[in-house]
Amino acid sequence: MRENIILIGFMGVGKTSLGKLLASKLGRAFVDLDEKIEHDAKMSIPKIFEIYGEKHFRELEKAAVKEVSARRNIVIATGGGTVKDAENLQLLKDSGIIICLTTDPEEIFRRTEKRGERPVLDDGGNERLETIKKLLAEREEFYSQADCKIDTTDWSPLQIVNKICEKVKMQR
Ligand code: S3P
C-alpha cells in the first residue's frame, strides 16, 4: 500500500518535468495525468475545455485518477486542480505519498504566461496574476493535505528530486 509517489501543486510548479526526472532516477514508471487524459480523449486539454467544458474535463480527470491510483510503484504527476475533488485526493492518498510542489505566484505567472495552454488561467482575462493568487488561496486547503511540501523556487531540478527522495524515505 501507499507505494506510489504523487506530485501535486499549482500549474507551473514543475510536476511533469520533475516527475519524469524522479521516475527515471528511481527506475519507476511515470504517468502524467494530463497526458493520459489527452491520450485517452485523443484531444488536447484546451480543446476538451473549449468543446465540452470544464465539468466534462473533471469527469475525465476523475476516471484517470481511478485507473492510475490502482497501479503500484509508479510516479504520478497530477494536474493543478486534480485534488480539489475529495474522492480524487483520497484515492491518491491511499495509493502513495503525496508531495506538494510550490513556488511563488510571480514565478507561476512567468512560467504560465503563454496563452492557449491552460484554460483555467486564460478564463481569468488580463488579470492573470490576480487569478493565480485567487486560485492559490482557494486551493490551499487541498494542497495542504499533502504529506509534505517542497518549495522549488531556488533549486535545480536535480536538487528538488533529491529532496523528494529524502522526504519519501522519511515517510516510510
Ligand atoms: C488545471 C491544471 C492543468 C490541467 C488543466 C486544469 C487546473 O494541469 O489539468 O488545465 O485546474 O489547475 P497543470 O497543473 O499540469 O498545468
| Nearest Cα residue to 151 out of 114, 105, 97 | 105
Q: Which residues line ligand 1 (CB under 6 A)?
A: 11, 15, 34, 45, 79-81, 118-120
Specify the ligand 1 atom closest to the Cα of 16.
15
Distance between CA atoms of residues 61 and 85, nearest Å: 10
Q: Residues 6 or more apart from 135 whose CB is under 8 A from it?
A: 10, 120
Give the Å distance between the CA of 80 and the centre of ligand 1.
4
Give the Å distance between the CA of 82 and the centre of ligand 1.
8
3-state secondary structure of 171: helix
Give the Å distance between the CA of 159 and the centre of ligand 1.
24
Distance between CA atoms of residues 130 and 3, nearest Å: 37
Give the Å distance between the CA of 79 and the centre of ligand 1.
4
Task: State the pLDDT at residue 114.
Answer: 86
pLDDT per position as a tens digit, 71-122: 999 999 999 999 999 999 999 999 999 999 999 999 999 999 888 899 999 8
- Of 20, 103, 118, 121, the one to substitute when testing ligand 1's pocket (max ligand atoms within 8 A of C-beta) is 118
Provide the pLDDT confidence category of residue 172 given band limits of 50, 70 and 90: confident
Q: Are 77 and 30 in contact (CB under 8 A)?
A: yes
